[in-house]
Amino acid sequence: MIFERGDGVGLEITRREVRGVRLRAGRPDLLAAASEVALGDIDDDRRVVDALVRLRADLGTPDEPTRVATFPPGSVLHRLDATGSPATELTTLRSSLHHDGGVGSTVLLDDGPRRWLVAVRWDDTSARRLEELTERAGFRDVTVEPSPIALVRVLDEEVTRVRRDATIDEAFELLCRAGLPVAAASVDAIGRMPPDLAIDATTVPADWFTGTTDPIELTAELHRLLSDLGAGDPDRRLHLSEVGYPPFPPHDLRAPQRQCVALGAALGAAGLAGRLRPVDMVAPTAVASSVDRPWAVERVSALPPRRDPVTIGPIRRALSRMLPRRR
């Protein structure tokens, strides 16, 4: 089946709900279908596949490429400047992040002449599992990415501070600039009514988190910068590429506060969000220093080498058989 640029499916998988949208290039507003299905137990593979099958049926059994967005509790991401770094330096940087900070996933993002490497701390095994279960449910060409990266695709470039309440016990705060994420962290959703989306355009220094790699420190500093974020700007609307997203009421399944993350994931799957770069979740094999190789030179034993036993040799053995022995 042949697809056009603009055809894609985006999913947001949380611990309680699965949300999804389908985009079609032939429609004026791009949105072809939207749905939301309750998820009983995300740790049960059969229930997850069953919810995804029902969601796919609600979307009209699409065969377009699919992008899954998720950001479970405990996840943190921040960006590093990788402008001008060749492939070897990027491999070394990924290896250092994995070895020193436990970062198993990275994403490359292009920003004009600049390039950013987004380091993602999350459960890599869980992300691969959701990707596999989504394919098992019938979705095609499935890829997975963090929800903050998907969300910034549908926000105005003026937006700098974002809080996303996905479910009762799942939310994240995001600091972005010019349509690219700077830092994001999972936070508590106590005292809020999900699903909700609060956005703001207050100026925040983009290099605020330069040199901050500790996840606890990063989460605390991000929460401090967004502590006064309320309901956000109600007049600021989402956009799908160059098409404005309609302001559906909150109870509608197509409401922006419900489908904002799924819409961003669908833009990535449909090829409407710049160059397609998947999440690299393969642990690099290179090491940053030779000090980490104690097995290169290893002393096996302190005993002296074993001497071979002394023998008489084959010639003397033959002569001894021929000559008479002395008593």
Give the angle 47-50-52 at the CA atoms, nearest 5°. 110
Q: How far is CA 261 from CA 44, 255, 308, 309, in A?
A: 23, 11, 74, 77
If you average pLDDT over residues 153-172, what whole number do you get? 91
Answer whether residue 288 shows pLDDT above 60: no
Answer whether residue 287 shows pLDDT above 60: no
What sign results for the dihedral spanned by CA atoms 308, 310, 311, 313?
A: positive
Q: What is the DSSP string of 193-214?
A: -SSEEEEE-----TTTTTT---
Long-range contacts (CB closer than 8 Å, 24 or more residues apart) made by 280-284: 280/94, 280/105, 280/106, 280/107, 280/108, 281/104, 281/105, 281/124, 281/127, 281/128, 283/98, 283/104, 284/91, 284/94, 284/95, 284/98
Per residue in 97-144, pLDDT (tens digit) is: 888 778 889 998 888 888 899 999 999 999 999 999 999 999 999 999
At 315 the pLDDT is: 74
Give the angle 264-105-51 at the CA atoms, nearest 5°. 50
CA-nearest of 195, 217, 199, 200 to 208 is 217
Residue 225 has which token pair?
């910068």
Answer whether residue 235 shows pLDDT above 70: no
Q: How far is CA 291 from CA 139, 294, 296, in A?
A: 45, 7, 10
Q: How confident is the model at residue 300 (pLDDT cuts 50, 70, 90)?
A: low
Residue 147 has which token pair?
């929800």
CB atoms within 10 A of CB 260: 28
Per residue in 248-272, pLDDT (tens digit) is: 898 999 999 999 999 999 999 998 8
Percent of the chain scored above 90 by pLDDT? Answer: 44
Per residue in 5-31, pLDDT (tens digit) is: 889 999 999 999 999 999 998 787 889
Q: What's the whole-model pTM score?
A: 0.82
CA-nearest of 184, 178, 176 to 69 is 184
Gap between the Cα atoms of 286 and 235, Å rounded: 49
At 224 the pLDDT is: 87
Q: Tokens 């409401």 — which residue?
A: 255
| Higher per-residue confidence, 325 vs 176 | 176
